[in-house]
Structure 1
Amino acid sequence: MASPNLAKLALKYGPIVYTLAQKYGPQVVEQVLRQRDPAQKFVSNQRERGTARKQALAHAESVIDGAVQQVFHGGQAYWVVFSRNEPVGTHPHTTVPYDSLLLNADPARRVSPADLRRTVHLPRRPRR
């Protein structure tokens, strides 16, 4: 049940809120839509980042002696896929040559896909 004070406030300020909503409503909707675009770009970039890692792991598993290494170039993270210590691909794809991507990269930081998997095995309760 609504309180009597709420009913009084609705009767007192209802017409004012209604006129302001008619006047400023379209501007508020426009601002909300304008602010939604950067958030959607951020979410899609995060999704692509995770997808690139998964693609790199799948690629590394499909080659002989596959390994992956994360490198950064121009503020962007790239996963370089190696086969027998030779770079064979990058995820996400780029036109930057391997030499410039791996210029200051440490070869000791290469990891096999099996070591990089994020699978967590939880203990199960025994069945009765």
Structure 2
Amino acid sequence: MARGSGKAVNNLVKLGVKYGPLVYEAVKHGKEPARQLAEREVARANSRRRALEHAHHLVDGSVLTVFDGDQRLFVVFNGDNPVASHPASSKPLASLIEGYDLDKRVRPARDRRRIGPRVKQVGGQGRTLSSPPSSQPSSPPPSSPPSAPPTAGADE
């Protein structure tokens, strides 16, 4: 061991014994709120996903975001009638949506898959590679520009 390093180790042990329990408690208490926040956000995302999936299976389904105190709820509608809330609430649905603008409801996407392949647009006529060409006769392609006149003194 190098000279003086024994003193550093001795100080480290003393500080560890003195402040170790405080550091342990701080780390323990610091992790818990972060874990709870992460769990809450995952539960909220799952509630929204479940509400949209529920609305997707209804004839005229839609979802409205409402608040019950500090908790965010997603109320599922079939037409103009409230059907359920995600997560479940002890309050009646009519009292949850009271005062909210029902025009702010979100309708789930009916089919999220892309129907056809992505294609580039050809030309400026709005035609794509997968669409058939129009039956209108096309104008002849523009002729090439006239060649530049020869410069004086070159190749003479």
What TM bracket, shorter-length normalisation?
0.7 to 0.9
| Alignment pair present for 1:91 and 2:86 | yes
Structure 2: state its 5+ residue gaps: 113-117, 120-156
- Mapping of 1:33-112 within 5 angstroms? 33-112=28-107
Residue of structure 2 in register with 1:4 after alignment: none
Distance 1:52 1:87 in 2: 16
What stretches of structure 1 move > 2 A for 4+ residues in a row?
Answer: 7-14
More helix by share: 1
Question: Displacement, 1:58?
Answer: 0.7
Sequence identity, in percent? 37
- CA 1:10 to 1:70, structure 2 compared with 1: closer, same or farther past 3 Å? farther
CA deviation vs aligned residue, 1:81-128 (integer Å, no higher than 9, x gap) = 00121111101111111121111110111121118x8xxxxx79xxxx
- TM-score (structure 1 length as normaliser): 0.76
- Specify the code of the residue in structure 1 equivalent to 2:57: S
- TM-score (structure 2 length as normaliser): 0.64
CA deviation vs aligned residue, 1:48-73 (integer Å, no higher than 9, x gap) = 11111000011001111111111112
Tell me the secondary structure at the aligned position of residue 109 of structure 2.
Answer: helix
Structure 1: state its 5+ residue gaps: 1-6, 118-122
Tell me the secondary structure at the aligned position of residue 33 of structure 1.
Answer: helix
Distance 2:14 2:94 in 1: 64
- CA 1:25 to 1:58, structure 2 compared with 1: closer, same or farther past 3 Å? same
- CA 1:9 to 1:104, structure 2 compared with 1: closer, same or farther past 3 Å? farther
Distance 1:74 1:66 in 2: 25
Between 1 and 2, higher relative CO (CA 8 Å, sep ≥ 6) is seen in 1
CA root-mean-square deviation: 2.3
Distance 2:5 2:83 in 1: 68
